[in-house]
Structure formats: structure tokens, C-alpha cells
Amino acid sequence: MDPWKLIEERLHERDELEKKDGAYFKAFSQLARLLPQGNASLAEKERQVLISENETLIERLNQQTLRLESSEGKVAQQDKKIRSLESTVAQLNSKIDHLVLEVAEKNRTVEIINDEHLVHEIQQNVLKEEIEKLKKENESLVQRWMAKVAQDADSMNQGNEK
């Protein structure tokens, strides 16, 4: 908005505010001129009524001011609480981010451990098969050796019998 336009609007508002009570001042001055000097007690009563109204308005203004100050204090407290809560939210979000990274790292570690476990199971199965193969081969060799020893023993026995 144009700054000159803003100044013009504010001056217009000020003029309206000042002129608002101008009609009352004119009416009171005309009333004072029309009243004869002998009706001073009536003017005094009117003055007392105006003073009383003025005091009432001042009291209401003071009450409104106190309410406003109280509200401003509450607003300040709530602003402070909001800033505190925003700080807490930021800290908790940071902690959540850290925990998400930690969980991701642990998941990668679990996958590595699972892969290693699978490799070890495969190696164990291969070794079991190899052990079975070697046992069979060993049995075969032992049987062949026993057969050879039995044959040698038979041939010695035949040689001794002759």
C-alpha cells in the first residue's frame, strides 16, 4: 500500500475521532448559554451527573485495561509454552530420525547375520555329505582290507599245510 495513502487514512480516522464528540461540546455550550444564571443548581446537578458518568467510564476503562493486560500475559505464557513445545517436537523428531537410522542399520546387520547363517548351514550340509561319503569309502576300504587280510591268511594257511 502507498505510504501516503496510509498516512491520509490515519489522519482521516483521527479527524473523525476528534469530531465525534464535537456535537456534544456544542450542545453543552448552547445549553449553558440558554440556562439562566439562576438555574445554577440544575447545571451543578448536570455537572455531577456528568462527573459520575465520567468516573463510571474511567472505571470501565480501567477494568478493560486490566483484562487486556491479563490477556496479554496469558498470550505471552501461551507463546512461551508453544515455543517450548515446538522445541520438544524438534528434539523428538530428531530422536525419531536417529532411531530410524539405527533400526535400518540393525536390519542390515540382521540380514548379514542371516546370510552368514545360511552359508554356514550350506557348508555344514556339504560337510555332512562328505563325511557320509568318507564313511562309506572307509567301510569299503576296511572290507577290502579285511578281504585281503583273509586272503593272505588263507594263502598262508595253505602254504603251511603243504
Q: Are 27 and 34 in contact (CB under 8 A)?
A: no
Q: In the chain, which ranges are E strands?
A: none
* Whole-prediction pTM: 0.45
Q: What is the pLDDT of residue 5?
A: 82
Which three cell numbers mark 1? 500500500
pLDDT digits (tens, 9 = 90+) for 126-150: 999 999 999 999 999 999 999 999 9
Looking at the predicted structure, is the pLDDT value of residue 36 above 70? no
Which residue would you say has higher pLDDT here, 39 or 157? 157
Which three cell numbers mark 101? 537410522
In eight-state DSSP terms, residue 1 is -
* C-alpha–C-alpha distance, residues 21 and 15, integer Å: 11
